[in-house]
Amino acid sequence: MESMSLPRVVTVTRGSVAEHAHIFPGDELVSINGRRPRDIIEYQLLVDEPELEIELSRGGLQLSVTIDKLAGEPFGAEIESALFDQVRTCDNHCEFCFIYQLPKGLRKSLYMKDDDYRLSFLYGNFTTLTRFTEADLERVITERLSPLFVSIHSTDPTLRSNLLRNKRGATSLRWLKELLKAGIEVHGQIVVCPGLNDGDQFEETLLGILEEYSEMASVAAVPLGVSKFSLEPNMRAHTQEEAQKVVALVEKYQEVFQAFLGRRMIYASDEYYLLSELPFPPIDSYDGFPQHENGIGMARAFEAAFRGDSRRAYGVKPGFFASIDGAPASGYRAERMLEGSQRVRVTRKAAVRPVAIVTGSYGVRVLSPLISSHFRNDVRFVVVENSFFGGNVSVAGLIVGEDLKRALAVEPEGDRYLVPDVCLSQGLFLDGLTPGDLPRQVEIVKTDGHSLATALEAG
């Protein structure tokens, strides 16, 4: 039997139902209306009820609280974690899994490999459905846990099983079919690996999606990341020509999906366009950026927000975030950025102090045209080489403190250094260092165009 922890209250909103009921931070909720919630989803459904009988534990004392409130009235108690039973870990052994490519000695949470549909619903994590069950399907449908995010990789049963190194990979997409039949919104992902599921196999997967899973909301094609710690001989980075072929197939099948379904369905990640040295598609071709946080259309969305476009909302909001303010980020995923942008007037005044944007090589290629057109020579870049991970890792989100220290050590003192918050989680870089460990004082800026433009204007 799975062990379960108790939901622990960390904060209580002033004036809320929970405060009036004399519930305090540190209280553990033993049961709500006779039920012990398994996760934050079930907890939210229970506390939405108008009549609550809560059994709680406070410093070893067992207390009972009776509450009468309006149905759906916010309870006002934030809970410490998202899951109270065990996280459903992943039993696949994908060659391209980046967790296997992490060095030893990092924070324990970074090595957690989940395949839990609840974390897919809560945070947008991708699940392969190899550990999905009939009971899970019933719960998803009954509670309308939508949208979900599913790793496809291939629609050929044998190839998918080989890619996941799990025999259940050959059959687990049957659950995807059932989810779609029940009207659950699902977004898919294909990690394209050179020589394994690219070329004709990639095209077969796109045809398989059209024939078997055409109700999917969107599908992303993303390249595998290969660090210097990879021990898999079959894993290598795309060549430019291979990346161009992926983009060509995606754009070809966008037309096919558009003709048959009335929507594009498949999108290539920004990294593919950077690898191919091709221009990013127009902003309208991303159809509202359904997989913005998966690296699909981030450059165009960033550009729009930087230039002051406040008319668009970017990305899909997981179902739980659509119904309440948020879920605990601890241990699963860093907090999400606010969607959309506010209008900002970008000026061309010279900065009071020299300003440097600290980013990876991909970041420079995206930002350089924007910065040069608005700020001319007032802003420079500090390009951080990712020596820590090596391989083909070039994104800003995987910049670590040691590499930042090395890059900033040779930079002049007194300048302003803007560092994107995407490389931090709860104030820590992936290697455990903090901004205070860096040799130069830095300013942490939210990773969106509006925030960067505002920071640059501040001078």
Domain residue ranges in the chain: 9-79, 98-323, 355-458
How far is it, in rounded angstroms, from Cα 70 to Cα 87? 33
Question: What token pair was written down for 110?
Answer: 């970074």
The answer to whether the beta carbons of residues 314 and 340 sit under 8 Å apart is yes
pLDDT band at 350 (very low <50, low <70, confident <90, very high): very low
The answer to whether the beta carbons of residues 340 and 288 sit under 8 Å apart is no
Q: Which helix (H) or strand (E) holds 58?
A: strand 51-58
Mean pLDDT of 407-414: 95
Residue of higher predicted confidence among 224 and 344: 224
Above 90 in pLDDT, residue 135?
yes
Is the overall model pTM greater than 0.75, yes or no?
A: yes
- SS3 of 372, please? helix
Mean pLDDT of 152-163: 97
Give the 3-state secondary structure percentages of the chain, helix then strand then coil, rounded to 5.
35, 15, 50
% of the chain residues with pLDDT over 70: 90
How far is it, in rounded angstroms, from Cα 124 to Cα 63? 36
Mean pLDDT of 152-181: 97
Q: What is the CATH number of domain 9-79?
A: 2.30.42.10
pLDDT band at 104 (very low <50, low <70, confident <90, very high): confident
**pLDDT, tens only, 371-389:** 888 766 678 999 999 999 9
Mean pLDDT of 410-436: 92
In the prediction, which pLDDT does 41 show?
A: 93
Cα–Cα distances (Å) from 24 to 10, 55, 68, 392, 394, in that order, read 8, 13, 18, 48, 45
How far is it, in rounded angstroms, from Cα 59 to Cα 8? 12
Q: Which residues contact 195 (CB under 8 A, 6 or more apart)?
A: 234, 236
Q: Are strands 28-32 and 51-58 parallel, antiparallel or unpaired?
A: antiparallel
In the prediction, which pLDDT does 437 show?
A: 96
Q: Where are the alpha helices (DSSP H) in 4-129?
A: 17-20, 40-47, 117-123
How far is it, in rounded angstroms, from Cα 291 to Cα 220? 7
What is the CATH T-level fold of the domain 98-323, as seen in this structure? TIM Barrel (3.20.20)
**pLDDT, tens only, 49-81:** 999 999 999 998 999 999 999 988 899 999 988
Above 50 in pLDDT, residue 347?
no
In the prediction, which pLDDT does 310 show?
A: 61
Mean pLDDT across the chain: 89
Question: What token pair was written down for 264?
Answer: 């594009």
